[in-house]
Amino acid sequence: MRFDRKRALVTGAGKGIGRAIAKTLAKYGAETFALSRTQADLDSLISEVPNIKVINVDLQDWDKTKEEVSKIGHIDLLVNNAGTFNVSQIIAKRMIENGKGGSIVNISSIMSETAAPDGCVYSTTKAAIDMLTKCMALELGPHNIRVNSINPTVVWTDMARSIKDHLMPLLPMTPLGRFAEIADVVNAVVFLLSDQSGMISGECLRVDGGLGVH
């Protein structure tokens, strides 16, 4: 699978899932822009992937984000790993103007469909991402822009390992008997960005080892 002559933007690309996605897209030939609020993370990313391009900005600073994202020109592939609707608006507008279509993947969670103690804010925001995905697919489809989300279970990032005891009750409910590795999520994202998923849009794809069947 190759992304030659494609331009990709990954938000939240300094650590974990976003970092792995950015590295994979660069490996597969995409001109990749990695956005993170932490310069040290971007510096170490460049040391690993010298041809990757980096954007150091905090997405909570909307004016600065708009300024920096506007500099990079058109984007064919967008991964909203730590993104905002406003970032999607800018990139979608560029995609429409470019006239070549494209693919957007939002990173959501199985918690968008699952209620949990102390999960009101997290689950609600992820449910909003799912609906945003569907609305964007409806609006952007006529411009040949596909929009999907990835909804993973627990993924073994450094953050997940730091709260491992809190997460382990989900394991017995998972038919495959394991949580996801970062590569499981990356592979699903790459598939949805690629032409191999050319008729898939508006989907919220669970990557959860079957946990969602409950």
pLDDT digits (tens, 9 = 90+) for 80-122: 998 677 888 899 999 999 999 999 999 999 999 887 777 788 8
pTM of structure: 0.95
Percent of the chain with pLDDT over 90: 85
pLDDT digits (tens, 9 = 90+) for 32-61: 999 999 999 999 999 999 999 999 999 989
CB atoms within 10 A of CB 85: 13
The question of whether 28 is a catalytic residue gets the answer no
Specify the higher pLDDT residue, 121 or 198.
198
What's the pLDDT at 156? Answer: 94
What's the pLDDT at 53? Answer: 98
Could you say which of 122, 166, 196, 210 is catalytic? 122
Based on its alpha-carbon atoms, the radius of gyration of the chain, rounded to whole angstroms, reads: 17
What's the pLDDT at 44? Answer: 98
pLDDT band at residue 1 using 50, 70 and 90 as cut-offs = confident
Q: Which residues are within 8 A (CB) of 66 and not within 5 positions of it... i.e. 6 or more apart?
A: 86, 90
Domains of the chain, start order: 7-213 (3.40.50.720)
pLDDT digits (tens, 9 = 90+) for 9-30: 999 999 999 999 999 999 999 9
pLDDT digits (tens, 9 = 90+) for 157-187: 988 899 898 889 999 999 999 999 999 999 9
What's the pLDDT at 191? Answer: 98
CB atoms within 10 A of CB 203: 18
